[in-house]
Structures are given as structure tokens and as C-alpha cells.
Amino acid sequence: MRDDAISDEDGTDRTEEFLTLLNEHESALRAYVHSLVREPSDAEDILQETRLVMWRNFEKFEAGTHFKAWAKKIAFHQILTFRRKAKRDTALSEESLELLALELTKNESRHDRRAVALRKCVRQLSLPHRQIFLMRYSREMSIEDIASAVDRTEGAVYRLLSRLRASLQDCVNRNTPATS
């Protein structure tokens, strides 16, 4: 086994697990840090240090638990450490930074619930409507190409997509609690 590999009690190399989880949550972690740190270069330094701390402590991470929450907690502590060392970026107190981090987590959680609701609502569309919707928003086809593929006019495709977006927004709103 490599010197820098992380192993389970049974000797299983967890390096691949770490890299998979990091890759899956990297964009959310990056957005989180950048939203709490004013300077992009500082945010990138903090992200780099966060990844190192996560790697060094991954043996303590319990498989099957919430990796993103664990990563964000480490990132938050790295932000505090960076602020203390740099003795700058004190526009926000630690308490304000904690409140901002909590609000970001709430918004992210709300966004995640809305994304789940949207997937559910898209599955409820009739097959032809779902195909047209996915042509536009998953495959990023042009309206002209969609119209040609489904033998409709471009105007008809525009109107259909407009109705589908409104219908999906209503569906998402109905399937997502307004609070929390």
C-alpha cells in the first residue's frame, strides 16, 4: 500500500472513496468557501488547505455519513484559521460569519429540495413533453433543431416550452415546503 493511502480497519484503501466523494461535492464546497471569503485567491488557498485537512482526517470520516456537511465544517474552521492568521478580512465578526454560513447551508438545503422536486415533476410530464423538455435543457438543442425533430413549428415549440416551464414551476412550488 502507498504511504499516502488511507486504509480502513480491514486494510482496504479508501483513497478512491475520498477522491470520488471530493469530486462529487467539490463545486458545492468551492461555492461555500467563495461565498464566505472576499478575495478569490484567499478562497482558493483555503480550499487547498481544506482538501489537505480532509485528506489527513479522512480515516475519521464515517462512510455513509454526510460528506458535504463534514467538508463544509472543515472548510469553515479553515476560514476562521485563515482570518486569525491573516489578521484581516474582519468586516464580519466570527458570529456574523457563522450566521452567514448557517444561512448558506439553509439556502443550499432548500435548493437541493427544489432540485429533487423538479426531477420528480419532470418525470410526471407526458413522454412527448418530457422528451422535448430534455432536448432543450439536458441536451441543449436549439429550438430550430427541436422543431425539426418533433415536426412542429419553432413558435409551437417556444409556446410548449413556456407552458412546460410554468407547469414545472407550479409543480415544484407545490412539492417544496415554503419554510425552513
Q: How far is residue 87 from each of residues 57, 74, 83, measured CA to CA in Å?
A: 26, 20, 6
Do 54 and 23 contact (CB within 8 A), yes or no?
Answer: no
Query: What pLDDT, on the 0 to 100 scale, is given for residue 1?
Result: 40
Contacts of 9 (CB under 8 A, 6+ apart): none
Spell out the per-residue pLDDT of the chain, length 180, in tens.
444 555 555 545 778 999 999 999 998 899 889 888 888 889 999 999 999 999 999 998 888 788 988 999 999 989 988 888 876 545 566 677 677 777 777 667 777 788 888 889 999 999 999 999 999 988 888 999 999 999 999 999 999 999 999 999 999 889 887 654
Backbone angles phi and psi of 135, in degrees to 5: -55, -45
| Domain residue limits, the chain | 1-91, 93-180
- Into which CATH architecture does domain 93-180 fall? Orthogonal Bundle (1.10)
* Alpha helices per DSSP H over the chain: 15-36, 40-57, 67-86, 94-124, 127-137, 143-150, 154-174
Do 6 and 14 contact (CB within 8 A), yes or no?
Answer: yes
Domain covering 1-91 in this structure, CATH number: 1.10.1740.10
